[in-house]
Structure 1
Amino acid sequence: MRNTRWMGLAAVVCAAGLAGCGKKDEGPSYAFVTNGVASFWDIAKSGAEAAGQELGVDVTVLMPNGVVEQKQMIEDLVIRGADGIAISPIDPDNQTEVINEAAAATNLITADSDAPKSDRMFYLGVDNYEAGRMCGQLVKEALPDGGKVMIFIGRLEQDNAKRRRQGVIDELLDRSMDPTRFDPPAEVLKNDKYEILGTLTDQFDRVRGKQNMDDTLTAHPDLGCAVGLFVFNPPLILESLKSAGKLGQVKVVGFDEADETLQGILDGHVHGTVVQNPFEYGKRSIEILHALNQGDTSVVPEDGFINVPARQIRKDTAEAFWADLKSKLGE
C-alpha cells in the first residue's frame, strides 16, 4: 500500500495541473537513479535502456549533481507513480528517511552502492570491500618492493566508497578481513613495506581532482603509486602525471573502466584496474523491478545481496575487455 504522505502530495501536485502527473497509459515505468554524472553511469544507462526495450517498458535514467538533487528526483518519481526505483545513494546515513518513504510507496532497490540501514528490498552490485582488496593486490603487483601510496576518490559519504577504500588499505597493510573498519582519511598508515599517505576527495569536481594529484606530486616527489577509486580519478591522475612529465615514473592503479584508464593499461602507464559491470547493474535492476511489479518475489535474495562480481583487468586482458564493452554499447 502506498504511503499516505506521498499519495496526498501527489494529489496536490496533480490538482495544481503540473505536467507529468500519473503513470503512462502504455505500461509500467521504472527508474534508475545514479549517484552522479560519469562515464560509468553512461554504461549503466545503456544496460537499463536495453532491458526496457526487451521488456517493452518505460525506463528513465536520472543522473543527479549532488545529494539534494538526488532527493528531489526520488520524491518526484514517487509522485509520478514509478512502478520501481533502483538507486545508488550518495549519502545513505542521511538519506534513510527519503529512501524509506519511497520504499513504502513502490519497489525500491539499491544498485552499485547500498543503504544497509534503510528499507530497500536488497542491494545489487559488487562486494566493495572485497573489490577494494582486489585493487590493493594490484598495487602490490605494481609496487612489489613497497613505497608511498596516495588514494584518490570522489567522496567518502557513499557506502561503496568507504568499503572500497578500506579494502585497499587493509590489503596493503596485510590486515584481517573487516569491512566495518574505518581509518580516518587524513591519517598516515604504514607497515614495513607500504606507507599510505592519506585519502583525497574531490566531490566529483574534476578540477579539484586533478589538483589533488598535482599537489601530491609536489609534496611527495618520491610517490610510488597513485590509486584512483572512482571512474574519473585514474584519467585525472594520468593527466597530472603527463603534465608533470612523470608518466611511467609513478605507478597507477585504477577502479572502473574509463576509456583513458583502459588505454593507459595498453600503453603501459596504468598497471591495472578493478572493474564492475555497470551495464549489468542497469539491465538487471530494470529486469528485477519489472519481475517484482509482476508479482514475482522469487527475485528477492534471502541475504539481501545480489552479487555482480568485480574483475581485475591487466594488460593481457584489457583489449578483449574493452572490445566487449564497446559491443555492449553499440560502438
Structure 2
Amino acid sequence: MKITTLLLAGAATLAFASAALAQDKTLAIVVKGLDNPFFEQVNLGCQKWNAENKGSEYKCLYTGPASSADEAGQIQVVDDLLTRPDVAAIAISPSNAPLMARLLRDRAPKIPVMTIDADLGADDAALRKTYLGTDNYLMGVKFAEHLKALKPDGGTVCLQLGNVAADNINQRAAGTRDTLGGEKGIERLAGQGGWTEIAGCPVFTNDQADLANQQMADTFTANPDLTAFMLIGGWAQFAPQAYVQVTDQVMDKLKSKTLAIVAGDTLPPQMEALKAGRSHVQVGQRPFEMGYRAPSVMIDLIDGKPVDPIIYTGLDECTQDNADSCIGG
C-alpha cells in the first residue's frame, strides 16, 4: 500500500511538473479592446498560427480588456500576465502609450516584450524589443496624398482620432497634417497648404463606434460646407448600419465629391462602404498578418535571435476605382 501510494504521489508530482512545464510557453497578444473588429483580425491570425503549430511547445493567446475605452483595464491585463509563470513573451498594442511605458518601466519584465499595431513613444522605445505593425506616419501621409488628389485646392477638414494618448493614431495625424500643410511639425492646420481644421475638431472617439458615428453626424450638420472628413481609424465604419445612416445625410455631396471621406482600414464592411460610395479612399493596415507573425517574432526574441527593432507590415491603398483588387498581403 505504501509503495502504491508513493508511486501515485510520484506520478502526480510528475504530472504537475509536466503541466507547469507545458504552461511556461504562452505567447500573449494584448490588444486595446476585444470589442473592436479590427483586433478580431489579429485574433484570427493568432489562431491560424496555433492551427499550423499544434506540435509546438508554444501557444498564442489573444487577450485584452473587454472595452477599447478601458485603458486602465489593459494595464491590468498586462500586469496580470507578467505575474503568470506560463507567459514566455508578450506583444502589446498600447491604448495609452505613456501609461503602458510606466508599467513596463516599473515592472522591468524578465520576459521579452514587443509592441504590435501601436508602439510606445520614441522616448520609451527601449522598453520593448521590437514593434510589429503599420508605419503609422506613412499611413497619415497616404491619407493626405489621396485627399490632395481629390481636393487639390484644399479646403476645410475635420480629423477624427481615437484615444488621446494612442501613439499610432497620433503618428497618423502627424503624417496627415505635415503632408497636407507641406511642412513638418504642424500641430493644427490653420491655412497651411490651403487646409484648415474646423472649430471643434479633431474629435476623439475613444475607439467607440457609436460615438464616432454621432461625431460625424454632428459635424456634418454643423458644417454644411465641410470639404473633407478624415477617419484616422475606421471606428464609425465598424458599425455599418449606423455609418449608412450617417452618410445618407450627405450622399449627394459624396457622389459629387463636394465632400470627401478618407478613412483608415479595409475590413469587409469598410470595403462595402467604399464600393457603395460612402467613402472615397480606404488606407488599410494588415491586422491578420500582425497576429499571424507576432508569435514567431516572440519565439525569435525568446531564443535570442536577431530581430529588427521595427517590422512594418505594409499598407493597402483602396479607392472606388480599384476596390476589387487593392487588398494585398
Q: TM-score range by the shorter chain?
A: 0.7 to 0.9
Residue in structure 2 matching 1:208, options 211, 222, 244: 211
Please tell me the residue identity of whatever aligns with 1:58. K
Unaligned runs of 5+ in 1: 1-21, 326-331
| Aligned match of 1:40 | 38
Report the CA distance between 1:121 and its aligned residue. 0.7
Unaligned runs of 5+ in 2: 1-18
Distance between the aligned counterparts of 2:105 and 2:296, measured in 1? 22
1:23 and 1:29 in contact (8 A); partners too = no
DSSP 3-state at the match of 2:22: coil
2:92 and 2:115 in contact (8 A); partners too = yes
Please tell me the residue identity of whatever aligns with 2:283. V
Does structure 1 residue 68 correspond to structure 2 residue 72? yes
Please tell me the residue identity of whatever aligns with 2:115. T
Please tell me the residue identity of whatever aligns with 1:264. A
Distance between the aligned counterparts of 2:300 and 2:168, measured in 1? 26
| Aligned match of 2:60 | 59
| Aligned match of 2:274 | 265
**Map of 1:151-300 to 2, 5 A cutoff?**
151-176=159-184, 181=185, 183=187, 189-191=190-192, 193-197=194-198, 198-234=201-237, 238-243=244-249, 246=252, 247-248=254-255, 250-293=259-302, 295-298=303-306, 300=307
Does structure 1 residue 113 correspond to structure 2 residue 118? yes
| Structure 1 residues 75 and 219, CA gap change in structure 2 (3 angstroms) | same
Report the CA distance between 1:72 and its aligned residue. 1.2
1:103 and 1:120 in contact (8 A); partners too = no
Distance between the aligned counterparts of 1:219 and 1:23, measured in 2? 60
DSSP 3-state at the match of 2:229: strand
Report the CA distance between 1:237 and its aligned residue. 5.4
1:276 and 1:311 in contact (8 A); partners too = yes
Aligned positions, number? 292
Residue in structure 2 matching 1:95, options 89, 96, 100: 100
Distance between the aligned counterparts of 1:228 and 1:212, measured in 2? 11
DSSP 3-state at the match of 1:149: strand
1:110 and 1:123 in contact (8 A); partners too = yes
2:251 and 2:278 in contact (8 A); partners too = no
Report the CA distance between 1:83 and its aligned residue. 0.7
Please tell me the residue identity of whatever aligns with 2:105. N
| Structure 1 residues 175 and 188, CA gap change in structure 2 (3 angstroms) | closer
Which is worse superposed, 56-65 or 242-251? 242-251
Residue in structure 1 matching 2:47, options 41, 46, 49: 49
Which is worse superposed, 140-149 or 164-173? 140-149
Does structure 1 residue 315 correspond to structure 2 residue 316? no
- Larger of the two Rg values belongs to structure: 2
RMSD between superposed Cα atoms in Å? 2.3
Distance between the aligned counterparts of 2:137 and 2:46, measured in 1? 25
Report the CA distance between 1:242 and its aligned residue. 1.2
1:179-234 residue CA offsets vs partner (Å, 9 max, x unmatched): xx361xxx552235322223111212323212211221122100111110112234
Distance between the aligned counterparts of 1:163 and 1:128, measured in 2? 6
1:62-96 residue CA offsets vs partner (Å, 9 max, x unmatched): 13221111011111212222111100111111222
DSSP 3-state at the match of 1:317: coil
DSSP 3-state at the match of 1:104: coil
Report the identity percentage.
24
Please tell me the residue identity of whatever aligns with 2:276. D
Distance between the aligned counterparts of 1:216 and 1:308, measured in 2? 33
State the TM-score, normalizing by the size of structure 1.
0.80
| Structure 1 residues 26 and 200, CA gap change in structure 2 (3 angstroms) | closer
2:161 and 2:231 in contact (8 A); partners too = yes
1:124 and 1:281 in contact (8 A); partners too = yes
Distance between the aligned counterparts of 1:165 and 1:172, measured in 2? 11
